[in-house]
Structure formats: structure tokens, C-alpha cells
Amino acid sequence: MDQLLQHLLNGLLLGATYSLLGIGLTLVFGLMNVVNFAHGEFYTLGAYAAFAALALASVHFFLAIPLAIVAGAGAGAICERLLLRPLRGQSIDTVMLVMIGVWIAMQNAELLGWGGVARSVPTPFPTQPLVLGPVSVAPLRVFVFVVSAGLILGAHLLLARTKLGRAMRATFQDRETAALMGVSIERIHTITFAFGAGLAAAAGALLGPVFLLYPSMGDLASLKAFSVVILGGLGNFAGAALGGLVLGVAEELGAGYVSSGYRDAVGFLMIVAVLLLRPSGIFARAERVG
């Protein structure tokens, strides 16, 4: 029983970062109709940006995370302006192939820049776990969870409460009508992509210190993000937030009770199962799949 509680707790803590990853991907898909295969690379970028700020510029740990988000969002904005804007109106498959190209290029640029050696990010948190009754948890994981939850809440408030968020939701619902109402679609697209990339970079900066940094770390992150998005339904914000937690818990249970070697297979199997049984996502109320 205690073991189960521990797995559930670990799963939730990990799942919050998966939610963060999934939300960025699902927004970009829902609003821009772009299947962003380079999503994991913004995660890697965020992790390395935080590492660079900490290890090379000796910035404080808490400042490194916002810096990483800014770096990710900046790279996302550049990517949108240079590559995605000229391709607007092209088929979704062409854009998907271009993003695959960006994925390969970014990953190997990181490999060239940082080398293949895994790196660890130093943190100011004690390694001594906090013991809460039957379960124990590392302070760093709690911090990561709190920041992730805060960012998800912030993203939700931005979408639900601000003028920008309303413009984004309007574009999501009907691009032409939104444009007629004076929404600059170009600007919304750049902001949305930068926003998604920034969230991915935040996830990277947060999970980087938990795990190790290596240039291909984004591949797994992309996979998790896609699993989350498919669980929640493409373009569904709340679905992605919940989907992340479900995936985190499912992975922990799978690794704990089945085999740790197949931990990453949980995500693959979930994708296959959801695509086959309920392709609109497990939380979808209405059909959203085109």
C-alpha cells in the first residue's frame, strides 16, 4: 500500500512536467494546425540554456529558469517567423516534414555545441528526502511540481482572462472571423508558437536538474508530449493538463510493477491504445478530430 502511494506521488510529480510539455504542443496544433515534431528540441534548448546560465554565467538557480523560458520562446518566435510563416497555406504534411528537418538540425547543432557527454545541473536543494508519513520525496521534485503547476495555471489564466488569450481562442475557433474582428493572425501565430516553445523550455529547465542533460533528450520529451496530447485530444488544453498526470502515474506504475526497462514503452502503448479506441482523446466531450 505504501509502495502504491509512493508510486502515485512520484507519478503526479513527474506528470505535471508532462502536462507542461503537452500544453505547449496542443496549443500549437490547435491554433496553427502545425504538428510540431521539433517540440522536444525546445525542451532540450531550455535544459541547456538553464545549464549554461548556471554553470557558465553562474546565475542564481531561480533566475536560470525564467532565462531558459525566454531563450525557448525567442527561438520559437524566430522559427515561426523564418520557417512557418512562409509556409502558411501549405499542406499540413509539408509543414510536418519541415518541422522534422528542424528537429534533426536543432538536435545535431546541440550535439555539436555541447558534445555527447551527459551533464548534470547543480541545484541548491538538499538531496535528503522529505519524509511525509509513509512516503518520501526529494525537495527538488516538489519545487519542480510547484513551478510546473504555477506555469500551467498561468497559461490557463492567460488564455481565459486576458485580451491576448481571447484573441488566441478566437483564432482557434475561426481564423477568418477573428481576422475580421481586428485580430492580427500573424502576430497571434508568432506568439502562440513562442508560447508553446517557452513552455517546453520551462519543462526542460525544470526536469534537467532532475535527470541528466544530453543532446537527444528531446526525443523522449517529444514522445511524452505527443502521448499527452493524444491522451487529451489534439488541441484540448484541459485534456493535455490531465493527460500529463495520467501518463506520469501510468509510467510510474508500469516501471514499478512491470519492468523499469519498458518504462518508456508505456507512452508508446498509450498512444496506440488511445488512437485505436478513442482517437478524440480520453477527455474529449465533443469530436474535435478533423
Partner 1 sequence: MRRLAFVIGLAVAVTAPLWVWNPYHLHTLIMAGIFAVLALSLNLLLGYTGQLSLGHAAFFGIGAYATALLSVKGGCSPWIGLLAAIVLPGVAGWVIGRLALKLRGAYFVLLTISFAGCVSLVSVNWMDLTNGPLGLPGVPALEIALPGLPALPLRSKTAFYYVVLLAVMLAYLLCLALIRSRVGRALVALRENETLAASVGIDGTHYLVLAAVISAAMAGFGGGLYAHYTRFVSPEVFLFTYTVTMVIMVVAGGKGTLAGPVVGAVLFTVLPEALRAATSWQWQMLLYGILLVAVLFFLPEGIVPALRRLRPEPHRRASPA
268 binds partner 1 (CB under 8 A): yes
DSSP state of 261: G
Region from 18-26, 45-53, 91-99, 250-258 binding partner 1, contact rule CB under 8 A: 91-99
Buried residues in 136-172 as b, exposed as e (16+ CB within 10 A): ebbebbebbbebbeebbeebeeebeeeebeebbebbb
Rg of the Cα atoms in the chain: 19
Of 51-59, 104-112, 170-178, 206-214, the segment contacting partner 1 by CB under 8 A is 104-112
* Residue span 187-226 as binding mask against partner 1, x where in contact by CB under 8 A, dash where not: --------------------------------x---x--x
Q: Please, what is the Cα angle at 206 between 205 and 208, to 5 degrees?
A: 65
* Binding track over 61-90 against partner 1, x by CB under 8 A: ----------------------x--xx--x
Q: Which of 5, 63, 100, 146 binds partner 1 (CB under 8 A)?
A: 100
Cell of 84: 512557418
Residue in 31, 50, 68, 102 binding partner 1, rule: CB under 8 A? 102
Cα separation, 239 vs 185, whole angstroms: 25
Build a one-symbol-per-residue string for 235-264: x at contacts with partner 1 by CB under 8 A, - elsewhere: ------------------------x-xx-x
Distances (CA, A) of 91 to 87, 97, 191, 270: 9, 10, 22, 28
**Residue 216 in 3-state DSSP?**
coil
- Minimum Å gap between C-beta 97 and partner 1 is 6
What is the end-to-end Cα distance of the chain in Å, rounded? 43
Return residues touching partner 1 (CB under 8 A).
35, 83, 86-87, 90, 92-94, 96-98, 100-109, 111-112, 219, 223, 226, 230, 234, 259, 261-262, 264-265, 267-269, 271-272, 275-276, 279, 289
